[in-house]
Structure 1
Amino acid sequence: MTAERGKFVCHSFQMKYITVVLIYMIVIVKGIVLLCISTSMIVSSDTSTDHANRTTTSGIITFDGIPLKNMELYYFKIILSSFGIGYSIAACIGGIIADLYGGRYCILFGMTSLSTAGLVFPFIIVHMPWYIIIVIFFLQGLCEGVMIPGQYSLYARWIPTNEITLIVGCLHPCRVLSQITVKYMMYYLQHRIANFWTWMLFFWGGVGLTVAFFAFIFVFSNPFQCKMSSEKEKKDMEIVGGKNPKRINWKMIFEDEAAWAAMIEHIAHLWQNRLLQVELSKILKSSHENVGPFPVQASVTLWCVVLAAVGSSVVVNRLVKKQRIPVIYMRTVANALSTLVPGVLLELTYNTNYGKNLSVILCPLALSFKSIHAPSGQTNVLDLTRYYAGTIIGIQIGVGTALSFVIPIIRQGVLESPDITDWGQMYDLSFSSCLIAMLLYMIWARAERAAWDVVIEDDDDDEFIEEVTE
């Protein structure tokens, strides 16, 4: 397979970029709605009970300061876990649906469902029994799991190879920007606006439905028509995700060793990233008194991640288009940096007496290097699996989410004294798995994808667009 694989563009140049902008907006709004839902329920740490002032005793779950009498702390943990369970189950299903019938339907369904959930959540959480809330959170996880593979399937199918690195790389900062938005609004407005979380969910749920409506009008109601560069691509498209496909050719997917190598590598990165985020959060929390309030430390960390992800995406995309470095080597180097540097920085916090003080600098730096993986590792999966990207992405999301459940269980149930040293051993294990996965990727993917060194030029796409517009 050659770089011809990416040599097709949408018939409408404008439609392609409207699609990208709308998906970015959907990712941001979706992230804000989910963060509002998960953050609005607070485990009170107060020890006194004063219903007139809406203060509660320790361990009571509150929403907008109102005690939730229908929920206990044990049920609260199950509710939060039910979302992840639904998410991991639906990811594989959503990927298959996206490959068979189109990612735009998955995105539209997920966005509409999550936005509606945001609008009705303030009523449900207060008046419904805990078991109904568990079912609702599980269904929300299903909607999210169906939606995420759909957006990657759209990118893999309709965005040319010489542009996909930048577009996918910049998708990661969109998620971080949603976190920044919620955190800032929560920090500055939570104690100034009555029923803050209710109004937040109403506002962003309405924004989500508006975005879904415009997405349907401008993009999803218009069928995509693309130009294939060869008869083989047309045949592949018919086999895996044609206009009216009957099945997915699982044999072809399982025989694609390079695609599985890239997927294994990305799952290892998800595991390492989860460990890194948990440990850095603990370090930040322990040193919170020394580094100042949220806008000082956490915002610096988040903005470093945004700038690093966007900057690395621009650099990698530029090198791909200019053919300065062979793509296979360049992405491997980027993956190595995103694996090795955070590991070394975190080890410094384990093995020095200045860990807390160093964390102020090392936390933003480690997460920034970790964000380099977005324009390299994720793009590898999309380039290698263009016609069944939804299925592969769905599998890796499901496995990665399952690992996020296993890690806390191992930490709390297996380790006798889960202090920072034991946690460091867990991180070392994930660090080793990343290196092994990278080695497998280099062995399997290099020979088959050597033709990536040749990348199509923009001139071919521009000529085709001119022909269509005429």
Structure 2
Amino acid sequence: MEPEEREDRTPLLKESQLGAVPACCSARYNLALLAFFGFFLLYALRVNLSVALVDMVEPNASLAKNTTSNVCPEHSSTINVPRNTTGKKYSWDADTQGWILGSFFYGYIITQIPAADLGVGYLIAVRALEGLGEGVTFPAMHSMWSSWAPPLERSKLLSISYAGAQLGTVVSLPLSGLICYYMNWVYVFYIFGALGVLWFFFWMWLVSDKPETHKSISCTEREYILSSLKDQLSTQKSVPWRPILASLPLWAIVVAHFSYNWTFYTLLTLLPTYMKEILRFDAEENGFLSALPYFGCWLCIILSGQVADHLREKQSFSTVYVRKCFTLIGMIGPAVFLVAAGFIGCNYELAVAFVTISTTLGGFCTSGYSINHLDIAPSYAGILLGITNSFATIPGMVGPVIAKSLTHNNTVGEWQTVFYIAASINLFGAIFFALFASGEVQDWAVSGYHFHRN
């Protein structure tokens, strides 16, 4: 079989084969919406520290010098409302802040407030423990979608659920800024922590692991999902670790995931600092402008998911072609605009526009490499994501530390170096994925598999 033919062998079941299976009020789209709100809160709990940290640190504690000739002039807010100044301040330098930001994770959010008073080491330790709770969410969700997402709806369903992460960032950044400005930074953690507990009860009440065990799913929808996946899932009892770890398509996802996360985590944790120290926006403006890029990314994720499945179903584009194209757009585009953002000086409008475009284009990756785990091995999608996400967590730990160590004086030139590094890693990941990715179910991922053409 020729390589071009092998790319199209994954069976895709159209709804017309089983009759109409509506999306509205269906169990699979209800799952997508609940997952959306879950990832919304997940990332709200992640990024609120990035904004709160700006208000937690004593003024100029992170700078060897207060200003340099390369730092932009003050850009004052047009809103002249007195801000609350009762929040406690800590004398953490740039390196310490980098370690704190690098350890941010989801978990026991309420413990952060006493943790800060007990010292930096304790705060970092607590944030690391939170990661034990956060780290399972993406692999667990991928594992659920391997049983719930029909092949022709993967891009739509997964883009809806994971887009919640971007909207959580969009809401959390400005809202955290407002809370810090008008109230006290401690309430940032109280409010989002309480919402997380509320969501947990809804998730436990309404969600089932598989369509077979869902209490209110229709017979038509259950049959549609199960029939569309019956030739893609494995009945093997043991995990084929050796072929998994030797799979080049998997390592293509690993490299792409690592590369994308380097840029994503760098901006996620340090964009508020860049807005404050370089562009000189105050806390209230900082939150809103830092959120703007992620609003664009959220829109891009939702729309690109629809387009990706349309191209596969209606236009008969192969899965691998769609995944590679969307990954190239979602990684090379951000690299170009991120570098450009470092060369426009103190042009506030262009700086915000370029960073926004850079992050927005990254949304294409959700329908690119991010879903590719389910394409090549649906039965082991959770395991594969656990592998790739383990490597992709490294940028979250070391990226902010390296970036902070390169920006001690917060000069434009220092930030250009940070952007250069991120863009170069992005470019490498995009090329590697384009060369070695696959869109077909791998032989080791199924048992008794019969090849079909799309």
Question: TM-score if structure 1 supplies the norm length?
Answer: 0.68
- Do the aligned partners of residues 282 and 228 (structure 1) sit closer, same or farther apart at CA in structure 2, a change above 3 Å counting? same
Q: CA deviation at 1:258?
A: 2.3
Instruction: Select the residue among 127, 133, 151 that pairs with 1:137.
Output: 127
- Please name the residue that 1:90 is paired with: none
For the Cα contact (< 8 Å) 2:334–2:361, is it kept in 1? yes
Q: CA deviation at 1:150?
A: 0.8
Q: 3-state SS of the aligned residue for 2:239?
A: coil
Describe the superposition over 1:141-199 as per-residue Cα deviations: whole angstroms up to 9, x where unpaired.
11111222111221233211111101222344312221222233233343433x5633x
- Do the aligned partners of residues 350 and 325 (structure 1) sit closer, same or farther apart at CA in structure 2, a change above 3 Å counting? same
Q: 3-state SS of the aligned residue for 1:328?
A: helix
The question of 1:372 aligning with 2:392 is answered no
Structure 1 segment 246-257 matched on structure 2, within 5 A? 247-257=238-248
Structure 1 segment 440-451 matched on structure 2, within 5 A? 440-442=435-437
The question of 1:389 aligning with 2:381 is answered yes
The question of 1:32 aligning with 2:13 is answered no
- Do the aligned partners of residues 32 and 452 (structure 1) sit closer, same or farther apart at CA in structure 2, a change above 3 Å counting? farther
- Do the aligned partners of residues 187 and 283 (structure 1) sit closer, same or farther apart at CA in structure 2, a change above 3 Å counting? closer
Instruction: Select the residue among 169, 172, 175 that pairs with 2:159.
Output: 169
Whole-angstrom distance in 2 between the partners of 1:18 and 1:168: 12
Q: 3-state SS of the aligned residue for 1:387?
A: helix
The question of 1:181 aligning with 2:197 is answered no
The question of 1:4 aligning with 2:43 is answered no
Whole-angstrom distance in 1 between the partners of 2:151 and 2:38: 23
Structure 1 segment 186-201 matched on structure 2, within 5 A? 186-193=176-183, 195=184, 197-198=186-187, 200-201=188-189
Whole-angstrom distance in 2 between the partners of 1:413 and 1:24: 35
For the Cα contact (< 8 Å) 1:326–1:453, is it kept in 2? no
Whole-angstrom distance in 2 between the partners of 1:180 and 1:428: 23
Describe the superposition over 1:283-329 as per-residue Cα deviations: whole angstroms up to 9, x where unpaired.
64423459x93476444433222222222222222222313433322
Instruction: Select the residue among 403, 410, 425 that pairs with 1:430.
Output: 425
Whole-angstrom distance in 2 between the partners of 1:288 and 1:215: 41
Whole-angstrom distance in 1 between the partners of 2:50 and 2:291: 20
Q: What do you get for the CA RMSD once the two structures are aligned? A: 4.4
The question of 1:313 aligning with 2:305 is answered yes
Whole-angstrom distance in 2 between the partners of 1:410 and 1:125: 22
Instruction: Select the residue among 140, 146, 157 that pairs with 1:156.
Output: 146
Q: CA deviation at 1:431?
A: 4.1
Q: CA deviation at 1:250?
A: 0.4
Whole-angstrom distance in 2 between the partners of 1:445 and 1:314: 18
Q: 1:258 is matched by which residue type in structure 2?
A: P
The question of 1:206 aligning with 2:194 is answered yes
Whole-angstrom distance in 2 between the partners of 1:416 and 1:30: 30
Whole-angstrom distance in 1 between the partners of 2:165 and 2:263: 18
Once structures 1 and 2 are overlaid, which stretch shifts more, 26-35 or 131-140?
Answer: 131-140
Q: 3-state SS of the aligned residue for 2:320?
A: helix
Q: CA deviation at 1:39?
A: 4.6
Structure 1 segment 313-462 matched on structure 2, within 5 A? 313-350=305-342, 358-407=350-399, 419-420=414-415, 422-423=417-418, 425-427=420-422, 429-442=424-437
Once structures 1 and 2 are overlaid, which stretch shifts more, 375-384 or 35-44?
Answer: 35-44
Q: 2:203 is matched by which residue type in structure 1?
A: A
The question of 1:268 aligning with 2:259 is answered yes
Question: TM-score if structure 2 supplies the norm length?
Answer: 0.71
For the Cα contact (< 8 Å) 1:83–1:139, is it kept in 2? no
Whole-angstrom distance in 1 between the partners of 2:60 and 2:272: 23
- Do the aligned partners of residues 427 and 452 (structure 1) sit closer, same or farther apart at CA in structure 2, a change above 3 Å counting? farther
For the Cα contact (< 8 Å) 1:265–1:441, is it kept in 2? no
Q: 2:103 is matched by which residue type in structure 1?
A: F
Whole-angstrom distance in 2 between the partners of 1:411 and 1:210: 35
The question of 1:22 aligning with 2:22 is answered no
- Do the aligned partners of residues 409 and 32 (structure 1) sit closer, same or farther apart at CA in structure 2, a change above 3 Å counting? closer
For the Cα contact (< 8 Å) 2:150–2:228, is it kept in 1? no
For the Cα contact (< 8 Å) 2:98–2:401, is it kept in 1? no
Q: CA deviation at 1:43?
A: 1.0
- Do the aligned partners of residues 207 and 250 (structure 1) sit closer, same or farther apart at CA in structure 2, a change above 3 Å counting? same
- Do the aligned partners of residues 77 and 152 (structure 1) sit closer, same or farther apart at CA in structure 2, a change above 3 Å counting? same
Whole-angstrom distance in 1 between the partners of 2:287 and 2:57: 23
| Equivalent pairs, count | 395
- Do the aligned partners of residues 383 and 122 (structure 1) sit closer, same or farther apart at CA in structure 2, a change above 3 Å counting? same
- Do the aligned partners of residues 412 and 207 (structure 1) sit closer, same or farther apart at CA in structure 2, a change above 3 Å counting? closer
Instruction: Select the residue among 87, 92, 115 that pairs with 1:65.
Output: 87
For the Cα contact (< 8 Å) 2:275–2:281, is it kept in 1? no
Q: 1:436 is matched by which residue type in structure 2?
A: I
Q: Percent identity?
A: 16
Q: 1:256 is matched by which residue type in structure 2?
A: S
Q: CA deviation at 1:445?
A: 5.3
- Do the aligned partners of residues 316 and 230 (structure 1) sit closer, same or farther apart at CA in structure 2, a change above 3 Å counting? closer
- Do the aligned partners of residues 434 and 453 (structure 1) sit closer, same or farther apart at CA in structure 2, a change above 3 Å counting? farther
Whole-angstrom distance in 2 between the partners of 1:224 and 1:322: 29
Describe the superposition over 1:342-381 as per-residue Cα deviations: whole angstroms up to 9, x where unpaired.
2333343456678665323222112111211112221122
Describe the superposition over 1:32-70 as per-residue Cα deviations: whole angstroms up to 9, x where unpaired.
2333456545112179xxxxxxxxxxxxxxx961357xx
Whole-angstrom distance in 1 between the partners of 2:371 and 2:316: 18
List alignment gaps of at least 5 residues for structure 2.
Answer: 1-5, 62-84, 214-224, 444-449
